[in-house]
């Protein structure tokens, strides 16, 4: 098991303890450590208040101080140190109305979502496991801390998180926990879309997503999520881990009649652009997939997106999206095409709009954009050399 990250963070816990407080590793890192999975970041939980943490450490950032979280910067790494917390009433199924800082570890782990996420571990790698989380990890089961129905009623995001963990870890969801998911799924409608997107993205990329997706359909989960609720999700097939962007593109391409604007998902413009690019590629490949158009495709959209699509053929086929004949459209061919590209972007063309206007003694207009595109295509397809005099002759011959 990989202890490196814990050993690196140990001085922080030691320092907190030296000031008379408790400190433990907690949450995902402990769970992943006990499962012998790679650990990405370490969370620390402590009896010290945020103010006390700020006095103990020289370099801190109050990233979520009102919720008890202070970032401690130590040896150029950021560590989230969160004060033991208990939560007040939940009125809107998404956030407690208030949080209280407490000095008792039990109170802190009691409010956590699943037993496997509620295990605290000290610097000697000894665990404090009040809810049998380690046994549940060994039995590969997802169980809420305390009564599932109550826990999901408090915060419906836990339903999605449970599904997300199943997808990532391949665990089973314990029967009572799943029943409560069925009862409370409608509360998902109260959640902020940002929180849903974070979990959904991880869920879709999980190794077990092909088994989790049918469960989500069973639960009618998507009926409560903006955008998704406009689509017939049972017609969408997910056979393997998939990026959120690609899933959205598949939905939009397969069901263009379903309207919904991506704006409702509050995803970044970059993500929206990716979705659009995937849709464009699907459309182009549907109409023509000869070597000529493939060259343009590789030039226009680059290797990573096309290569990713090729790796997702099973899911695309299941959704009736064809990428063209495998003899033409395959990983080796697109790599070869990419390596042979004469130019890689428009500014590589040995001419520009200004020179064309001067040569032809014409006024600009939409025709110029079209002409530049024609030049670009001709160069990409080796019908025209990327040399200014050649291009000028070609332009004169083609007006």
Residues of this chain that bind Mg ion (CB under 5 A)? 28
DSSP string for residues in 101-127 = E-S-HHHHHHTSSBGGG--EE-TTS-E
Least CB distance to Mg ion at residue 41 (A): 6
**Nearest distance, CB of residue 170 and ligand ATP, angstroms:** 15
The answer to the question of residue 112 lying near ligand ATP (CB under 6 A) is: yes
**Closer CB to Mg ion, 44 or 316, in the complex:** 44
Q: How far is the CB of 85 from Mg ion (least distance, A)?
A: 16
* Residue 96 DSSP SS3: strand
Name, in order, each residue with C-beta under 8 angstroms of 38's C-beta and a sequence gap of 6 or more. Answer: 2, 32
CB of 8 to ligand ATP, least distance (A): 17
Dihedral sign, CA of 62, 63, 65, 71? negative
Residues 43-72, mask of contacts with ligand ATP (x by CB under 6 A): x-----------------------------
Helix/strand/coil for 317: helix
Confirm if 190 and 93 have CB atoms less than 8 A apart: yes
376 lies in the binding site for ligand ATP (CB under 6 A): no
With CB under 5 to 8 Å by kind, the binding choice for 112 among ligand ATP, Mg ion, none is: ligand ATP
Residue with nearest beta carbon to ligand ATP? 28
Min dist. Cβ of residue 210 to ligand ATP (A): 20
List CB contacts of 275: < 8 A, sequence separation 6 or more: 245, 248, 249, 252, 262
Q: What gap in Å lies between CA 221 and CA 213, rounded to an integer?
A: 10
Site map (CB under 6 A) of ligand ATP, residues 202-241, x = contact: ----------------------------------------
Residue 113 interacts, among Mg ion, ligand ATP, none and using kind-specific CB cut-offs from 5 to 8 Å, with ligand ATP
Contact 264/231 with Cβ under 8 angstroms?
no
Identified binder of ligand ATP from the candidate list 22, 27, 141, 225, rule CB under 6 A = 27
Nearer to ligand ATP, 28 or 50 (CB): 28
Tokens representing residue 372 in the block: 């530049």
| Interacting residues with ligand ATP between 329 and 348 (CB under 6 A) | none
Contact segment (CB under 6 A) with ligand ATP among 63-71, 111-119, 327-335, 355-363 equals 111-119
| E-state strands within 122-184 | 127-128, 141-142, 172-173
Give the C-alpha separation, 247 to 251, whole Å: 6
Instruction: Locate 396 and state its tokens.
Output: 């004169």
- Which residue number, 112 or 184, has a Cβ lying nearer to ligand ATP? 112
By CB under 6 A, tell whether 117 contacts ligand ATP.
Answer: yes
Please report how close the Cβ of residue 77 comes to ligand ATP at its closest, in angstroms. 16
Beta strand 23-26 with 43-46 is antiparallel
The number of residues making up the chain comes to: 399
Which tokens belong to 296? Answer: 């343009």
Q: Which of residues 146-185 bind ligand ATP (CB under 6 A)?
A: 155, 157-158, 161
Q: Which is nearer to Mg ion, 28 or 133 (CB)?
A: 28
User: What's the alpha-carbon Rg for the chain, to the nearest Å?
Assistant: 27
Of 43 and 149, nearer to ligand ATP (C-beta) is 43
Which listed option, Mg ion, ligand ATP, none, makes contact with residue 129 (CB within 5 to 8 Å by class)? none
Residue 32 or 245: the one with the smaller Cβ distance to ligand ATP is 32
Q: Are 311 and 395 in contact (CB under 8 A)?
A: no
97, 109, 126, 117: which is closest to 158 by C-alpha? 117
> Which positions touch ligand ATP (CB under 6 A)?
27-28, 43, 112-113, 117-118, 155, 157-158, 161
């Amino acid at each position: 098991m990989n202890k490196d990250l814990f050993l690196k963070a140990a001085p922080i816990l030691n320092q907190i303890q030296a000031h008379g407080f408790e400190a433990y590793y907690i949450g995902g890192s402990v769970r992943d450590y006990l499962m012998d999975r790679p650990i990405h970041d370490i969370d620390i939980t402590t009896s010290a208040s945020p103010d006390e943490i700020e006095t103990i450490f020289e370099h801190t950032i109050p990233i979520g101080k009102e919720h008890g979280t202070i970032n401690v910067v130590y040896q150029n790494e950021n560590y989230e140190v969160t004060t033991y917390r208990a939560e007040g009433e939940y009125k809107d199924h998404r956030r407690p109305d208030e949080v209280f800082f407490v000095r008792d570890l039990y109170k802190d782990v009691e409010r956590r979502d699943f037993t496997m996420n509620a295990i605290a571990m000290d610097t000697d790698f000894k665990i404090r496991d009040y809810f049998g989380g380690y046994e549940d990890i060994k039995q590969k089961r997802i169980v809420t801390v305390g009564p599932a129905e109550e826990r999901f009623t408090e915060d419906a995001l836990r339903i999605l998180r449970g599904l997300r963990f199943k997808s990532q870890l391949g665990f089973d969801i314990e029967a009572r926990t799943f029943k409560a998911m069925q009862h409370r799924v409608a509360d998902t409608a109260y959640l902020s879309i940002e929180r849903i997107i974070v979990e959904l993205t991880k869920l879709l990329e999980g190794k077990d997503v092909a088994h989790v997706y049918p469960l989500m359909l069973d639960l009618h989960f998507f009926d409560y999520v903006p955008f998704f609720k406009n689509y017939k999700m049972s017609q969408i097939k997910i056979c393997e881990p998939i990026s959120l962007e690609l899933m959205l593109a598949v939905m939009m391409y397969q069901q263009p009649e379903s309207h919904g604007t991506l704006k409702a998902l509050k995803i970044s413009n970059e993500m929206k652009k990716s979705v659009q690019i995937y849709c464009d590629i699907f459309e182009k490949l549907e109409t023509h997939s000869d070597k000529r158009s493939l060259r343009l495709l590789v030039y226009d959209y680059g290797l990573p997106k096309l290569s990713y699509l090729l790796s997702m053929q099973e899911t695309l086929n299941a959704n009736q999206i064809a990428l063209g004949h495998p003899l033409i459209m395959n990983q080796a061919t697109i790599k070869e095409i990419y390596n042979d590209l004469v130019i890689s972007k428009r500014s590589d063309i040995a001419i520009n709009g200004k020179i064309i206007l001067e040569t032809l003694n014409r006024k600009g207009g939409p025709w110029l954009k079209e002409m530049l595109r024609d030049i670009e295509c001709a160069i990409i397809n080796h019908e025209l050399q990327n040399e200014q005099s050649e291009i000028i002759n070609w332009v004169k011959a083609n007006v």
